[in-house]
Amino acid sequence: MSSRAHPGQLRAELLALGLTAATVLLLDQVTKAMVAASIEVGGRIEVIGDLVVLWHVRNTGAAFSLFQGGQAFFLVVTVLAFGMLIYFQRVFRGRGPLLHVVLGLVLGGTLGNLVDRVRLGYVTDFISVGIGDLRWPTWNVADGSLVVGILALVGYLTFFDRPRSEVTA
């Protein structure tokens, strides 16, 4: 069905992907700029007591401050991620705009952190959740979008996407 999708459906899917990615990118960059303008690096503001804290961090690693350093490695991973997104967009043609919203979440998150890496040499993280010293790694809108998008994609592929042999049988 993917190659025989109606042109109107293909436009709707690309629009869903593009608008979602643009919205995530905009939200990510605006929130990072707000944090950078209002909280000094290392500074913290409690939002919900110690449970949710805005904590301005410069991350030279991957999502959630993992694997610090290695900018060149992360740029290569980003290029591979773009390749996979192009592949998925082509494979999922004709399956509806909702699946392309999921791809837009991944694309927007990937672009949000790429913009920071290229422009600044680091990614601005600022959302910290936990209690005392027991905290989840600090993250941002792009990281959250990537995680939600990837989990939704894995869920779709695991529970809803039938192998082609089942579809043609």
Digit-coded pLDDT (tens) for 65-87: 556 666 777 778 888 999 999 99
- Mean pLDDT, all residues of the chain: 88
pLDDT band at 8 (very low <50, low <70, confident <90, very high): confident
φ/ψ (deg, to 5) at 154: -60, -45
Digit-coded pLDDT (tens) for 103-143: 999 999 999 999 999 999 899 999 999 999 999 989 999 99
Q: Does 76 reside within a domain?
A: yes
Q: Does 24 reside within a domain?
A: yes
Angle between helices 7-38 and 141-159 (to 10 degrees): 150
pLDDT for 44 equals: 96
Determine the average pLDDT of the residues in 11-35: 97
Angle between helices 141-159 and 97-120 (to 10 degrees): 150
Q: Does 4 reside within a domain?
A: no
Determine the average pLDDT of the residues in 32-53: 97
Domain hosting residue 97, numbered range: 13-40+63-121+141-158
Instruction: Check pLDDT > 60 for residue 169.
Output: no
Instruction: Check pLDDT > 70 for residue 156.
Output: yes
Q: Does 29 reside within a domain?
A: yes
Instruction: Check pLDDT > 70 for residue 145.
Output: yes
Q: Does 83 reside within a domain?
A: yes
| Percentage helix, strand, coil for the chain under 3-state DSSP, each rounded to 5 | 65, 15, 20
Instruction: Check pLDDT > 90 for residue 39.
Output: yes
Catalytic residue ranges = 125, 143
Instruction: Check pLDDT > 50 for residue 26.
Output: yes
Q: How far apart are CA 132 and CA 115, in angstroms?
A: 32
The pTM assigned to this predicted structure is 0.85
Q: Does 150 reside within a domain?
A: yes
The total number of structural domains in the chain stands at: 1
pLDDT for 160 equals: 85
- Concatenating the DSSP letter of every residue in 111-165 gives HHHHHHHHHHSSEEEEEEEEETTEEPPPB-HHHHHHHHHHHHHHHHHHHT---HH
Q: Does 93 reside within a domain?
A: yes
